[in-house]
Chains A and B, each alone.
Chain A
Amino acid sequence: MLYPDTVEAEVLVHKPWFVATMFGVGLYGRFAIGFAIAVIFTLNVVLIGFAPLKLQIGIVWLELLLLFIAFFETFHLSLPFIREKLPFLISQGVVTTLYVSAISIVIASVIAVAGAVAKLSSNGFAYAIASFYTSFFRGLPLLMQVYLIYLGLPQLGFVINAVPAGILALSLCYGAYMTEIFRSGIQSIDRGQWEASRSMGFGFALTMRRIILPQALPVIIPPTGNQFISMLKDSSLVSVIGVWELMFLARTLGQKTFQHMEMLISAAMIYWVLSICLELIQSRIERHYARSKVR
């Protein structure tokens, strides 16, 4: 302790001017913080405005990402638990999710091409069947389709396992959506293209393959990419019939120790990363088909 003053005096923190100052600072503190945040935010936006476009996009992405990380930070997640479970989440969950969606995507695409041709044909049966199919499978919730196929088919004597049932439901549902996408893509090509092609002696299949589809694909690809991404996530619905895919594991792994938030957020991040991969592939393909538009 310094030299202890024996002079009787009022304690500093009780002096009226000190109390008043404290009160003033406290009152303005809120405004000051608000002011500082506003200045930083504005500066941030203005400065980003000076950056070239690519850098701008990168910085805004990064900042939004940091905001989300700060949001997840508030859950106080146990990182060691995530690290311990991550290998199984990937080796069992991601693998199952990926192969279920990959097979479904292929089947759905085949159904979509056939469905689109049928919907555009002048054959009454083909049109009726295709339009009934799209109407039915677009009109029912996917979860219900999963139940119907898994529980309903055995009534008819076909006992199928959980994974094939899930793949069937996903393929049929997304095949219906994609039928409409393919149909609209094909219809977007001017009839003059058909007429010119047929007058050159091309048959239907050749016209489709060589003239119509190459022009329709740039129209078809962006919405199809959307469908792939949403199918990847909708594949989580097959967890209700006991397929150990990513969502199923996310819900079960942390349950015993009440660390399900950890698993759910990890799964969310994994789904996001997978979607980003699909987005990148989609933009690659789009660039490929936009070659003719580059100057």
Chain B
Amino acid sequence: MTFWNRRQLTMAAVALALGAYPAHAGAVLDRVTSAGTLKVATDANWAPQSFMNANNELDGFDVDVAKEIGKHLGVKVEFVTPGWDIITAGNWAGRWDMHVGSMTPTKKRAEIFDFPAVYYYTPAAVAVHKDSKAKTLADLDGKVVGATSTSTFEAYAKKELTLDAAGAPPFEYKLNPKEVHSYENSTTAFDDLRLGDGVRLDAVVSSLPSILDAVKAGYPIKQVGEPVFYEPLAIAIEHGDPELSAKIADAVKAMKADGTLSKLSEKWYGQDYSKTN
């Protein structure tokens, strides 16, 4: 029996004893380097961050960033696509090692996750039907607003948003909706908005890129007002592996320094979202 096997056995024994999978220092990084693959969880339904492209493969900004990080760690990247609430529930139990899916680092999430690096900022904006008379966000007072459930957009609409990550730009609540409807993703919210001004929704809070994409695809909607907040978006890993955390932070720092992140952002958004401005 080699040392490695014994160590794995001990881990399994500890796991059984504690009734949980332990994530002791370096465990995830050890697993990643020994397997040669980094398992990355991401969404398959969140264009242009991550989506299925014409060749039926995962593609997008988040996917490219994850692949770059894999390159820096010297391992292959493999994607898994569990639902968002499965990912945010924590307790990954080694099913995947890292999450690159535009997660906003909040204090509550920081209880479950480490956020090694913020890799870009998305402007969040409000969309209305193109027939809407609303000119400013104040015109939407007392209206019905839709947003993806458990997203920061929903939290903003409900005035429960806390952006407490390091370097998060300040913001204020400019939206006073009467009701907030929750949707599974932004597309279903846009689908309700397209039915007509005020038919089911008066406005949708979503990321500016996804609004612009919907407009490009012919949805009868438009942006109203300025972006309401800039959302820092970070890579998430589980607590307990500072070595992996440091490796990812280094990789992202290097990607920022050599312009890779800016280039990827330009490629997918047409703008450089890797810094706020």
The interface bits of chain B over 169-188 (1 if a CB of A lies within 8 angstroms of the residue's CB, else 0) are: 00000000000000000010
| Given A84-B54, A248-B44, A252-B44, 13 more pairs with CB closer than 8 A | A157-B15, A159-B21, A159-B94, A162-B95, A240-B83, A242-B80, A242-B82, A248-B81, A251-B45, A252-B45, A255-B51, A257-B217, A258-B213
Contact of A88 among B20, B56, B89 (CB under 8 A): B56
- Of A147, A157, A256, chain B has the most CB atoms within 10 Å of the CB of A256
Contact of B91 among A155, A161, A256, A260 (CB under 8 A): A155
Within 8 A of A (CB), among B35-74: 41, 44-45, 47-48, 51-54, 56
User: Interface SS of chain B: helix, strand, loop or mixed?
Assistant: loop
Interface range, A side: 20 to 34
* B86 part of interface (Cβ distance < 8 Å): yes
* Nearest CB of chain B from residue A102's CB, rounded to whole Å: 23
Q: Are A242 and B19 in contact (CB under 8 A)?
A: no
- Of A84, A85, A88, A241, chain B has the most CB atoms within 10 Å of the CB of A241
Chain A residues near B219 (CB-CB < 8 A): 258
* Nearest CB of chain B from residue A209's CB, rounded to whole Å: 41
Q: List 20 A-B contacts (CB under 8 A).
A: A84-B54, A88-B56, A151-B86, A154-B93, A155-B91, A156-B19, A157-B20, A161-B95, A162-B82, A239-B83, A241-B86, A242-B41, A242-B83, A248-B44, A248-B81, A252-B45, A253-B56, A255-B51, A258-B214, A258-B218
Question: Which chain A residue has the least Cβ–Cβ distance from B96?
Answer: A242
Chain A residues near B89 (CB-CB < 8 A): 151
* B246 part of interface (Cβ distance < 8 Å): no
Chain A residues near B95 (CB-CB < 8 A): 159, 161-162
The interface bits of chain B over 214-249 (1 if a CB of A lies within 8 angstroms of the residue's CB, else 0) are: 100111000000000000000000000000000000
* Nearest CB of chain A from residue B112's CB, rounded to whole Å: 13
Q: Are B45 and A155 in contact (CB under 8 A)?
A: no
Chain A residues near B48 (CB-CB < 8 A): 256
Q: Are A255 and B47 in contact (CB under 8 A)?
A: yes
* B16 part of interface (Cβ distance < 8 Å): yes
* Nearest CB of chain B from residue A267's CB, rounded to whole Å: 14
* A92 part of interface (Cβ distance < 8 Å): yes
Question: Which chain B residue has the least Cβ–Cβ distance from A159?
Answer: B93
**In the bound complex, CA of A247 to CA of B238 (Å):** 29
Given A161-B95, A256-B52, A258-B214, A154–B82 Cβ distance below 8 Å? no
